[in-house]
Structure 1
Amino acid sequence: MSGTSEGPGSAADSTRPTVTERHSTLPVGRSAAELHDYRAAFDAAHLAMAVVDRTGLVVAANHALALLLGGEPAELAGRPAAELVDLAAETRTWQAYLEVLRGRQARLRCTRRLKHPDGHSLWTEVTLGPVPGTQDVLLSVADISDRRDLQARLRHLQMHDPVTRLPNRALFFERLSAALEASSYEHGGTGRIGLCYLDLDGFKAVNDTLGHRVGDRLLTAVAARLTHCADQCGYGRSGGHLVARLGGDEFALLVEDSTGTEQLADLAKSVLAALQEPFDLAGQRLSVSASIGVVERACEGTSATGLMQAADTTLFWAKADGKARWTLFDPERNAHRMTRQALSSTLRPAVDRGEFALEYQPLVDLESGVVRGVEALVRWNHPQFGTLTPNRFIGIAEEDGSIVQLGQWVLRTACRQARRWQLDHPSDAPVFVSVNVAVRQVWDSDLVRDVAEILADTGLTPQLLQLELTESAVMGSAGRPLQALQALSDMGVRIAIDDFGTGYSNLAYLSRLPVSVLKLDGSFVRGFRYEEGAHPNPADETIVEALVQLAHRLGLTVTAECVETAGQAARLRRVGCDTGQGWLYSRAVAPERIAEMIGGPAYGSAPGHGSTPPPLM
């Protein structure tokens, strides 16, 4: 049996015990007959054993040890035990062995891989402990090769997918974590890592229509093609890339020592091309595609969780962009997504924390120039992202349902403010307040009850409240939404259609819905400009004039949005438009600024005013 001749166990090691004497291995106080029985049991034992003196030399070895190591028991006597079982291979084990010999440590147990003289290797469990009544220690060596082989087979089953035989999620993350350790790149590696994370488009349909057996065959065939692509493209230090099945129809190709995004892009392209070729599976000819998220970055500062989150996000982008494609991770796009997530997670408690505020934009009578009403526009004073306009968070609020809570707050705050203006300006005609309502507020809450309670609590008359819904939302009004709109109208609340002309533009609903106001989308108004060499579009004026006449015949009023110049206001006034809203008069401002406008003409509305917009507020 070969041993270690250098290192901690070498003859040159000054800490090694020296052979100074040979002392008896026989327990003190035993009769000759008992000692003979002990010796016979020792020699006949199936467990390989040796008695080692305090200098580390073998005093006696039994037949089982000689058979295990190759040789005769007598040939082992006098040899260093550490060399027989390679105890000097590790410094920690070697130091523990010395402590056992010196009597300072009771026991040592370790696993060693030994080489038999005939060339085969075996795994052993080595144990050392004191022999009672002597200064010697007992060395025992158990052959655990079969146990190790069984453990290896069990680990292989545990770490590999039974369908495709690929590494599974557990082995993938084990390999990924090891690859991200800095120590893995001390010898000429690139220090970078790449990942192609993919799933099959429409795999569920294959399982549902053809059965799981065909689905499993497809997964096995896909695994083979992925492995072939990895073998062709792989030139890392491991001789290839790790291909794993993470579950379902999800696969991953891990690229250690990545050379950059071009390498990952080439791999992703080869995978897409390989999977686009039809599969012939037991008489079934199938065609599939895959969506792939590609991430490539430096290992330093990267965690396994962070890498997988980026890969999962990028795979989502690939599917959202149309499937059957690969998409590279984009930090800017991810930052937007993270911002959206951050807003979504903090939106509900932000209402309770008082982070929202309302600003108001005047709705001006185009004939008199008097402020007739205001539109309430919500702002989110976010502690991290600053002041956010509605387009940054209203869509999120509609998706997660928090629009109901936020909408109630906006409605109550706006009505309270309108009532305050009314009380503060008793001699002026009261201004109405217009509040945007999402269709989800109608479905997910009792909007009619909420409005009635808020009007009662604030003392605002229903005629001074206008609710704005988008054209597309109103077009879908049926059942409960239609009943709610009708009840609100019967209550005296005005219903306005926002961005009119950009949605379905189905004029039939104007006769069956309780609509009071049409708000023309700003795209029509922008075509009215003469300034700065712009030529107005005559079609826009014709359309607006026709819409105004139609609305008036139906008893509706018309508000034009995005009025920016006096020229636009004059043309809108000429075609009969009732009110205007836009930067010509004011941006959305604080309630105090609106109070200053009440009762007086707004800028740029009366004839004779110039066309230069006022300073932005």
Structure 2
Amino acid sequence: MLLAALPIAAAILEYEEERITIAAYNPRFEETVTISTVGTLEGMNASCLQGDGLIASHLRDWFDDCAVGPDLEFRDNSGVAARFYRLKLAPLPTRGAVRRALVSVVDRTAEVQAERTLRAEMLRDSLTGLPNRLAFTEMIEVAGRMPEAAEGDLATEHAVLVVDMLRFSRINESMGSLAGDELLITFARRLISALRSGDRLARTGGNEFGIIVALRRGMADALKAASRIQDAMSAPFRLSELEIKVECAIGLAIMAPGQDAEELFRNAQFAVKQAKATGRPQVYEPKEASLARRRFSIETELRRALDRDALNLFYQPLIDLKTGEVSGFEALARWTHEDRGEISPSEFIPVAEESGLILTLGRWAMHKAATTLASWDQEAGETLPFYVGVNLSAIQVARDDIAGMVGGALRSSGLAGERLTLELTESAIVQDPRRATRVFDALKALNATVAMDDFGTGYSSLAYLQRLPIDVLKIDRSFVTGMMIDPDSVAIVRAVLSLADALGMSTTAEGVESRELATTLAALGCVAGQGFFFAKPLEASHALDFWRSRKRKSRRS
């Protein structure tokens, strides 16, 4: 009666002399047994409770230990007919030598099926029907666990390809999300057509797809797969009444034994970034990734250094080639890391520009240079007859309020505008000529001097030189250092000097590293020189002493 009142399938089992028997059961228990593969209570007793089967062994172990053990999960049948059960055991009082237990059977079939359905939905991309990012990671793990080929067979490796559809956001914005979805579905179908049997495809991001490719001939197979994908995408896509050419960037990474699936996927994604830059499929190279990690590390450390004011400005003299006196100093950022040592500006300046830290770095340099020049005036007790030049990057010109920054530095330091020279590269002009013109005009309104740095290495039009208020042309060192051995370099420098003279501009030659160069440049009419022949960049405390020494030297001569 007690068993019949229970809402779940239950029975009483008795255990004696290694034999288990069903002593009592309720109707639900009988129904559960009937719909299982054993079919009857006799069948259950014969196939499940005796012998060395899973259930029999589990029950005997439980009776022998006389402890509440873990529940037993088991599956009956397979495929779509499979049913899933959980057995729970609870001890009952013994009858002499007979041990007794209450066993309940919970049918978990509906629960398991719901879990599987939910998991399938979790692993499926709803738009394309392909496996999603989570499923792709599991697919990589499965591929990594595949057994090695038998001796004499060709070993099977695997590669992960990441395919990124380029310019998708522009298509989505201009044509709408429905057209974007249609394009993604069509793109996925074309990817499928480019795959071989056994290759696996997933949608791993908005416009990103991942592919697992089986390799028999190593990298050659992976590159052929990339080539097939590019061929499949060569024909235009038709959306509504438009035909759209869609390009893709492809990154490849070869699976190493025991490699983490997430790491492998990230490697392929890193290769995609390089593919976008080069315009062709790229294979992941650990060296390139190491450099990328270093750049990221430098970005983090540079941000901290700027917060702690841990950078320094050094000052390289600019020498008047006629008098030999110092006409100015160029302020140059220097960074000595407490652990890494000195980090070259050629390494941290590009990182600063890429990350946007160049805005903070530029403002710091501007105010630091102005403050230092004002302190030199105060130490000398007079307004010194030279200026300080500060570099401005193209990123600053494009994003920052240059005139406001320079004006603020002048006001806080008490300097006149002509004491500062702002050096801009040609790229700052070429990227946005109109904005550059506004910036130049605003700087001239502050009476600041404007110099074009590295002249001759960019692509600026001569019309810019005529139209923009540029005061100084700085001749790039690549031309200056070759003057003693290359007649073409001499001709280029001579032409720049003539051009500057015709436009009423002053000139400064970079990279002067010998007396012969300094003499030749002076003879050609160059106004100023800068380079290791005169001095390396100096700390602020030594720069003023250098100016004094050059002044005394010029007086004696």
Q: What is the TM-score normalised by the length of structure 2?
A: 0.79
1:64 to 24, 31, 35: 31
Contact 1:57 1:81 in 2 (8 A): yes
1:381 pairs, out of 319, 336, 343, with 336
Q: Name the counterpart of 1:498.
A: 453
User: Is 1:176 aligned with 2:125?
Assistant: no
Give the residue type in structure 2 aligned to 1:320. Answer: A
CA gap 1:59/1:260 in 2 versus in 1, 3 angstroms: same
Q: Is the deviation greater in 241-250 or in 520-529?
A: 520-529
Query: How large is the Cα RMSD of the aligned pairs?
Result: 4.4
1:162 aligned to which of 118, 121, 126: 126
Match of 2:163 in 1: 198
Q: Which residue of 1 aligns with 2:326?
A: 371
* Shift in CA distance, 605/320, structure 1 to aligned 2, threshold 3 Å: farther
Deviates more, 1:53-62 or 1:364-373: 53-62
Is the contact between residue 60 and residue 73 of structure 1 (CA under 8 Å) also seen in structure 2? no
AA partner of residue 326 (structure 1): P
Distance 1:260 1:371, change over 3 A: same
Counterparts in 2 of 1:149 and 1:501: CA distance versus 1, 3 Å? closer
Alignment partner of 1:342 is 2:297: yes
Report the CA distance between 1:357 and its aligned residue: 1.7
Q: How far is the alpha carbon of 1:293 from its aligned partner?
A: 1.0
CA distance in 1, matches of 2:406, 2:536: 27
Q: 1: CA distance between counterparts of 2:40 and 2:467?
A: 107
Q: 1:143-542 maps to which residues of 2 (within 5 A)?
A: 143-145=107-109, 147-177=111-141, 193-203=158-168, 219-220=184-185, 222-227=187-192, 229-232=194-197, 240-255=198-213, 260-276=218-234, 288-300=246-258, 302-322=259-279, 325-422=280-377, 430-438=385-393, 441=396, 447-448=402-403, 450-451=405-406, 454-455=409-410, 458=413, 460=415, 462-473=417-428, 475-477=433-435, 481-489=439-447, 493-503=448-458, 505-506=460-461, 513-526=468-481, 528-530=483-485, 534-535=486-487, 539-540=491-492, 542=494
Task: Give the drift of 1:451.
Answer: 4.3
The aligned residue for residue 581 of structure 1 is: 530
Aligned to 1:276, the other structure's residue is in SS state coil
Inter-partner Cα distance in structure 1 for 2:401 and 2:165: 43
Structure 2 stretches of 5 or more lacking a match?
none
Corresponding letter in the other structure for 1:105: A
Supply the AA of the counterpart residue of 1:266: K
Q: 1:569 aligned to 2:518?
A: yes
| Distance in 2 between residues matched to 1:72 and 1:549, nearest whole Å | 109
Residue 196 of structure 1 and its aligned partner are, at CA, apart by 0.7
Cα distance in 2, alignment partners of residues 558 and 207 from structure 1: 50
Question: How far does the alpha carbon of each residue in 1:498-546 deviate from its partner, in whole angstroms, 9 at most, with x for none?
Answer: 233444555555566554333233344345325xxx4455632541342
**Secondary structure of 1:161's aligned partner:** coil
Q: Which residue of 1 aligns with 2:103?
A: 139
How many pairs does the alignment contain?
539
- Of 123, 128, 140 in structure 1, the residue corresponding to residue 84 of structure 2 is 123
Partner AA of 1:573 in structure 2: A
Q: 1:557 to 1:331 in 2, by over 3 A?
A: same
Q: Which residue of 2 aligns with 1:547?
A: 499
Give the Cα separation in 2 of the matches to 1:257 and 1:50: 58
> Which deviates further from its counterpart, 560-569 or 575-584?
560-569
**What is the CA–CA distance in structure 2 between the aligned matches of 1:597 and 1:273, rounded to whole Å?**
65
Cα shift at 1:361: 1.8
* Rounded Cα–Cα distance in structure 2 between residues aligned with 1:146 and 1:254: 33
Distance 1:477 1:221 in 2: 42
Q: For residue 57 of structure 1, what is the amino acid of its counterpart?
A: I
- Does the 8 Å CA contact 1:226/1:271 hold for their aligned counterparts? yes
Mapped partners of 2:66, 2:168: distance in 1:
64
Query: Could you say what secondary structure the match of 1:598 adopts?
Result: helix
Shift of 1:406: 2.2
Aligned residues of 1:268 and 1:292 also touching (Cα < 8 A): yes
C-alpha contact 2:391 2:422 (8 A) present in aligned 1: yes
Q: How does 1:28-107 map to 2 (within 5 A)?
A: 41=4, 47=9, 49=11, 51-54=13-16, 55-60=18-23, 63-64=30-31, 67=34, 68-70=36-38, 72-73=40-41, 81=49, 83=51, 86-87=54-55, 94=58, 97-98=59-60, 100-102=62-64, 104-106=66-68
Q: Is the 8 A contact 1:500 1:519 kept in 2?
A: yes
Percent identical pairs in the alignment equals 31
* CA distance in structure 2 between the aligned counterparts of 1:163 and 1:536, rounded to whole angstroms: 61
Q: Is the 8 A contact 2:508 2:530 kept in 1?
A: yes
Deviation, structure 1 residue 245? 1.7
Shift of 1:145: 4.2
Unaligned 5+ segments in structure 1 are 1-36, 233-239, 609-617
**Using a 3 Å threshold, how does the CA distance of structure 1 residues 517 and 303 change in structure 2: closer, same or farther?**
same
Does structure 1 retain, via aligned residues, the 8 Å contact 2:480–2:489?
no
Q: Give the Cα separation in 1 of the matches to 2:489 and 2:160.
A: 53
Q: Distance in 2 between matches of 1:441 and 1:228?
A: 47
